[in-house]
Amino acid sequence: MFSYILRRLAVAVPTLLILVVFSFVLMFAAPGGPFNSERPLPPQIMQNIEARYGLDQPYWKQMVDYVVNVVTRFDFGPSFQYRDRSVNDIIRQGFPVTLTYGLWSALVAVIVGVALGVVAAIRQNSWVDYSAVGISIGAQALPNFVMGPILVLVFTLWLGWLPGGGWRGGQWEYVILPVIALSTSYMASIARITRSSMLEVLNSNFIRTAMAKGLPMRRVILRHALKPALLPVLSYLGPAIVGMITGSVVVDVIFSTGGIGQFFVNSAFNRDYAVIMGITILVGALTIGFNLLVDILYAWIDPKIRY
């Protein structure tokens, strides 16, 4: 087990380094510097600014400095656009917001998705099953940037029940719509996966034995069937979390939550490379970290996996 984790880390760390170096090289391939403007600055001022941001150093030194700062102190340097703030400030401000509704979304997706899938599997070919399958196909084809506006349209404009945007420090009514928008398609996928794996498990011998012993249905499902049926869901969690992280960009923009996605898109319009790079690397680290975590969990839970 320990050597498996070490081996996985041996892949994860270089991946992250490649991502950092790749985005850095991209940045230098960009035409023009971040401070080039219509009206050229006096050379003296330009020099001072470049010295302040370390842009007067040779490229390799800038890159090494950047990588060292990121790795050792988790310091992404100053923002090029918001002159008085560092990338870390921006991340510190936006990340908790994204994390809050991201975690809620993951929870909702897993709990509701699994429940829906289990019910659909138990009552196979009943109306519950058909509607669960129908909903999950529908929800899968609805990307979150379609889901979000529809939610706003229905719950804010037509019904007037929930606010259509903002965050207000995470009050519950501001969290609900972003969570629904982000979690629905993953909930649907999880429901579909749970249903098919549950059906498979329910047809297996050990479940027949449990039934034959005269155990109540509830106990058979919860104690015997659920655990093996959830393994495929666990392996889906890796890509699902990556998708949610990406999806949060759109949710941030639609609901103006002030999460990192909003900063990311704004910086993309402002050509604020430092912020874009910082967020890309942070997201990359999260992605790789979550994938690693899911893989380790999987190897730990599933006895059939050899590592």
Partner 1 sequence: MAQVRDNLDTQKHATPQADIMDLSGTDHEIKGRSLWADARTRFFRNRAAVLGLVVLILVALFATFGGLIAQYEPQYVDFTLMGANAYKGVPSIETGHYFGTDVDGRDLFARTVVGTRISLLVGLVGALVAVIVGTLYGATAGYLGGKTDQIMMRFVDILMSIPFMFVLILMLVIFGRSILMLFIGIGLISWLDMARIARGQTLSIKGKEFVEAAVATGVSPLRIILRHVVPNLLGIVIVYATLLVPGMIIFESFISYLGLGIQEPMTSLGALINGGTSQMNNGTLWMLLYPLFFFLITLFALFFVGDGLRDALDPKDR
- Per CB under 8 A, residues contacting partner 1 are 11-12, 14-15, 18-19, 22-23, 26-27, 29-30, 137, 140-143, 145-146, 148-149, 152-153, 157, 196, 242, 245-246, 249-250, 253-254, 264-265, 268-269, 271, 273, 276-277, 279-280, 283-284, 287-288, 291
* Minimal distance, residue 277 CB to partner 1, in Å: 7
Closer residue to partner 1 (CB): 8 or 224: 8
Would the CA dihedral through 275, 280, 281, 285 be positive or negative? positive
Nearer to partner 1, 109 or 210 (CB): 109
Amino acid at 184: T
CB of 105 to partner 1, least distance (A): 17
Instruction: Please identify, using beta-carbon distances, which residue of 160 and 303 lies nearer to partner 1.
Output: 160
In the bound state with partner 1, the residue whose beta carbon lies nearer, of 211 and 296, is: 296
Cβ 140 to partner 1 shortest distance, Å: 8
Minimum CB–partner distance for residue 11 and partner 1 (Å): 7
Q: How far apart are alpha carbons 35 and 265 in whole angstroms?
A: 19
Q: What is the DSSP letter of 253?
A: H
Residues shown for the chain: 307
- Selection from 82, 103, 128 nearest residue 278 by Cα: 82
Whose Cβ is closer to partner 1: residue 116's or residue 251's?
Answer: 251
Minimum distance, C-beta of residue 291 to partner 1, in the bound complex (Å): 6
Which CB, 106 or 220, lies closer to partner 1?
106
Q: How far apart are CA 66 and CA 58, in angstroms?
A: 12
Are 191 and 260 in contact by the 8 Å Cβ rule? The answer is no
Q: Which of 241, 59, 255 is nearest to 152 (CA)?
A: 255
Q: CA 178 to CA 147: how far, in whole Å? A: 10
Cβ at position 218, least distance to partner 1 in Å: 28
CA 127 vs CA 12, 195, 199, 203: distances in Å: 45, 14, 16, 21
